[in-house]
Amino acid sequence: MLKTPAYAVASAKAPLAPYTIERREPGPHDVLIEILYCGVCHSDIHQARDEWGGSIFPMVPGHEIVGRVAQIGREVQKWQVGDTVGVGCFVDSCRQCEACRAGEEQYCERGMSLTYNGYEQDGKTPTYGGYSTRITVDENYVVRIPPGLPLERAAPLLCAGITTYSPLRRFGVTAGSRVAVVGLGGLGHVGVKLAKALGATVTVLSHSPGKRSAALELGADDFVATGDPEAFTAHAGRFDLILDTVSAQHDYNAYLNLLRRDGTMVLVGMPEPAPLSAAPLIVRRRRLTGSLIGGIRELQEMLDFCADHGVVADVEVIPIDKINEAYDRVVRSEVRYRFVIDLASLSGAV
Ligand code: NAP
Ligand code: ZN
Ligand code: ZN
């Protein structure tokens, strides 16, 4: 086993603190990755604070991992030492069910192995995420970071990128689509850039009026402050697709009314439950759906799309000892738009 420095939470109420984990020596199909950067997703906070229930402690969060291949197993075909690679939200799945065979491993019927707060496919070995200096992963659950993408700005694509790209593609966003992105955070700001790259007209719906100019600078065509109750009447029936990235409870019914006939609202934010009325769905035959990250094939497709279109995240790079402060700032919607940990700040700190 490989002793590896990490940061972990011991319980839902505990702060992140230095911790040592064991990584497995690479098996025949594994690669050992030296982690360079890891993004800080709001899901890390939800899980570290056990806001979804069932968290497994001690927990080493982090599922927006970019690094370099440091060692490969003897049968590895896809990777060589020195390759720049990424690991997203899961590190394995059953590989046999219908979802896995369709390349949608995130919907694995037997349960994917989450990158952290989960178990390997043996059902008992806990997984630990990217707030650490290295990780051992099966070669089939690793993706290539295309050359030209700045690595610290590419890291958030491994979750924020795929989580917004997948529904934008699946629900047919194309040139001329009228798209609204709700919540201009880590997911939302990448969603704006991706929707623009797909040719959509993009409006940001935000509860932070101060984000107007930043939204327009990111490429949004319009900005609506949702704190103004008039906004929901003024913009009723306007959008083909609403991508809802909000991490806190809010009124889905009000947003549904902003859709056109046959419009679709996709939930990717995962707050606490909120009431839903049938009427907004019925009166314009609107659809409400959700979407979970994306499969490995689509993850690679998204990274290549981002390289072709120059899409990367806007980030604030931090050393790992600033992580607790960073969590509080994410909850206050203060980060523009993603914290990314520079793991050089953890090297040698076993
Ligand atoms: P984030 O950076 O914190 O962004 C969330 C945004 O929601 C904030 O920037 C803010 O935007 C808005 N918001 C926050 N509190 C609000 C409130 N009280 N009322 C209204 N709006 C509020 O989080 P993130 O990393 O983008 O993640 C967003 C959500 O997606 C989280 O729930 C996360 O767990 C979930 N997620 C889901 C998937 C998936 O596969 N479905 C993957 C990753 C993450 P404004 O200031 O512009 O209003
Ligand atoms: Zn995430
Ligand atoms: Zn499966």
Tens of pLDDT, residue by residue over 192-243, are 999 999 999 999 999 999 999 999 999 999 999 999 989 999 999 999 999 9
Distances (CA, A) of 167 to 170, 181, 199, 278: 5, 12, 15, 23
- Residues 131-189 have pLDDT tens digits of 999 999 999 999 999 999 999 999 999 999 999 999 999 999 999 999 999 999 999 99
- Please give the pLDDT value at position 84: 98
How many C-beta atoms lie closer than 10 Å to residue 192's C-beta? 26
Q: How far is the CA of 338 from the centre of ligand 2 (A)?
A: 11
Domain ranges of the chain: 2-159+294-345, 160-290
Looking at residue 51, its amino acid is: E
Instruction: Give 277-334 pLDDT, tens digit per residue.
Output: 999 999 999 999 999 999 999 999 999 999 999 999 999 999 999 999 999 999 999 9
> What pairs with residue 290 in β-bridges?
267
Ligand at shortest distance from the CA of 62: 2
Looking at all shown ligands, the one closest to residue 102's CA atom is 3
Cβ–ligand 1 contact at 263 (below 6 Å): no
DSSP 31: E
The answer to whether the CB of 245 is under 6 A from ligand 1 is: yes
Long-range contacts of the stretch 15-19 (C-beta < 8 A, 24+): 15/324, 16/48, 16/61, 16/131, 16/323, 16/324, 16/327, 18/349, 19/58, 19/60
Q: Does domain 2-159+294-345 have CATH number 3.40.50.2000?
A: no
Which ligand neighbours the alpha carbon of 185 most closely?
1
CA 132 to ligand 2 center in whole angstroms: 16
b/e sequence 291-327, b meaning 16+ C-beta within 10 Å: bebbbbebbbbbbebbbeeebbbbbbebebeebeebb
Residue 25 to residues 37, 65, 75, 261, 302, Cα–Cα distance (Å) = 21, 19, 14, 55, 30
> Rounded to the nearest whole angstrom, what is the distance from the C-alpha of residue 227 to the centroid of ligand 2?
26
Domain 160-290, CATH number (from 1.10.357.10, 3.40.190.10, 3.40.50.720, 2.130.10.30):
3.40.50.720
Average pLDDT value for residue range 34-52? 97
b/e map 37-55, b = 16+ CB within 10 Å: bbbbbbbbbbbbbbbeeeb
350 pLDDT band (50/70/90 cuts)?
A: very low
Alpha carbon separation from 206 to 183, 209, 223, 245, 320 (Å, rounded):
5, 7, 8, 10, 29
* Two structure tokens written together for 252: 């889905």
Q: Whose CA is nearest to atom 27 of ligand 1?
A: 42
Determine whether the shortest distance from the Cβ of 250 to ligand 1 is under 6 A: yes
Instruction: Look at residue 2 and tell me whether its pLDDT is greater than 90.
Output: yes
Q: How does residue 124 score in pLDDT terms, banded at 50, 70 and 90?
A: very high
179 with 241: CB under 8 angstroms? Answer: yes
User: Which strands, in side-by-side order, build the sheet including 201-206?
Assistant: 222-225, 201-206, 178-182, 239-244, 259-267, 287-290
Backbone angles phi, psi at 339, to 5 degrees: -80, 140
Q: Best mutation site among 50, 52, 187, 216 for ligand 1, i.e. most ligand atoms within 8 A of its Cβ?
A: 187
Q: How far apart are CA 77 and CA 68, in angstroms?
A: 16
Q: Which atom of ligand 1 is nearest to the CA of 187?
A: 26
Six-digit token pair at 231? 């906004």
C-alpha to C-alpha distances, 182 to 74, 155, 175, 216, 270, nearest whole angstrom: 46, 22, 20, 14, 13
Cβ of 190 closer than 6 Å to ligand 1, yes or no, is: no
pLDDT at residue number 349 = 47
How far apart CA 63 and CA 115 sit, in angstroms, is 6
Q: Residue 273 — pLDDT band, cuts 50, 70, 90?
A: confident
Beta strands in 24-133 (DSSP E): 30-40, 65-72, 84-87, 90-92, 113-114
- Its pTM stands at 0.97
- Cis before 255 (ω within 30): no
Instruction: List pLDDT tens digits, range 79-103.
Output: 999 999 999 999 999 999 999 999 9
The answer to whether 2-159+294-345 and 160-290 have equal CATH topology is no
**Band of the pLDDT at 46, cuts 50, 70, 90?**
very high
